[in-house]
Amino acid sequence: MRAEFSVGKLTSVLAKKTQSDLDRVFKGTSKTRDRLSYMDEVLALWRLDDLEDTLDELEETLLSVDFGPATSTKVLDEIRERVEKGEISTGAEVKAGLKTAIVNILERANGGKSGPASLTLNESANEPSVVLVVGVNGGGKTTTVGKLSHRFASESGAKVMLVPGDTFRAAAAEQLATWAERSAGVMASYKEGTKPGALCYQAVDEALAMGDVDVVLADTSGRLHTNCDLMDELVGVKKSIGKRMAGAPHETLLVLDGTTGLNMLNQAREFHAAVQVGGLILTKLDGTARGGAVVSVVDELGIPVKFVGVGEAMEDLQTFEPVSFVDALFPEDQAGA
């Protein structure tokens, strides 16, 4: 690890949110936000006597953006309880209470802390941090690895090694090499036909031998979460990395395609059971009105979201921050007096 890089510096720069960052998240959540805007019409007509009918309409709206039934019920039960206690009496207060309940779900997965969830990285001097990136086919893993490399290098000066552990797709290594060049990273050495576990073991060994690599980002083959053999192979990849460096991988990130909606819940459940996922990356959020699904994943599994993809550009992979995300879904406008 080089003197000019520190884990603390990387953590610090990832936590900073500029106005342009907030604008990107707002723009990228437009489809989900448009569908949720029906709530403002419902709450503009808010009457205490119509509580149950209003809650039913709010539930339908949440379900329309793939908040799961269990999570929707939990959030609205909290609203009902607060209304009955006299803590909420206007449409605007209902909306604020709804937002608070959702933020609490997202922050609870981060140990109750506000702000972005931190990456778990290697604090040991002279050793790189190893991050394993997993997910199903087509979720955007390789592109996400490239965007992560760009963020780490451009914002903290990290030297990043990219590992082409996706051995299923013929073009995966070439795609990753392009990202390595664009992000000023280095590609791990590899040979065609090497098994993923051995390839990742060798990459960590190479990074340690180089001595100046700060972060190792390991791509993996996309796999169906229902295929036991492929999931077992992924378990083997993680074990192989740990054999070469005790405690590695330090972070395991699951990439979830926002367009899959509630289907991501089963994916997350299976991947977490196999490799103990430490954080979620939600991609393609700009292309879907199903952005509520990630709240259900966080609610059920207690895994924090760490990054969100809201566009094609390298800068469009944003550190996830619960309050700004929920503000983007439920902007402050007319919610009833």
User: Same CATH fold, 30-108 and 7-18+114-329?
Assistant: no
The domains of the chain are located at 7-18+114-329, 30-108
Q: Which amino acid is at 256?
A: L
Banded model confidence at residue 12, pLDDT cuts 50, 70, 90: confident
Judged on CB neighbours under 10 Å (0-12, 13-18, 19+), 48 is exposed
Q: Does the structure show a pLDDT above 70 at 226? A: no
Does the pTM of the predicted model rise above 0.85?
A: yes
Of the candidates 282, 299, 331, 334, which has an alpha carbon nearest to the alpha carbon of residue 110? 299
CA pair distance 256, 240, nearest whole angstrom: 24
What pLDDT does residue 144 have?
95
Least confident range from 120-124, 221-225, 303-307: namely 221-225
CA pair distance 44, 50, nearest whole angstrom: 13
If you average pLDDT over residues 50-71, what whole number do you get? 95
Banded model confidence at residue 333, pLDDT cuts 50, 70, 90: low
Query: Which residues are bridge partners to 132 per DSSP?
Result: 218, 252
Cβ atoms within 10 Å of 4's Cβ, excluding its own: 11
CATH 1.20.120.140 fits 30-108, yes or no: yes
CA pair distance 165, 260, nearest whole angstrom: 24
Q: Does the structure show a pLDDT above 70 at 292? A: yes
Give the pLDDT confidence of 168-210 residue by residue, as tens digits: 777 889 999 999 999 999 999 998 889 999 999 999 999 999 9
CATH 3.40.50.300 fits 7-18+114-329, yes or no: yes
Cα–chain center distance at 72? 20
Give the pLDDT confidence of 89-124 residue by residue, as tens digits: 999 999 999 999 999 999 999 999 888 999 999 988
Banded model confidence at residue 18, pLDDT cuts 50, 70, 90: confident
Please give the C-alpha separations between residue 285 and each of 85, 87, 245, in angstroms, as whole numbers: 37, 34, 35
140 compared with 222, residue with greater pLDDT: 140
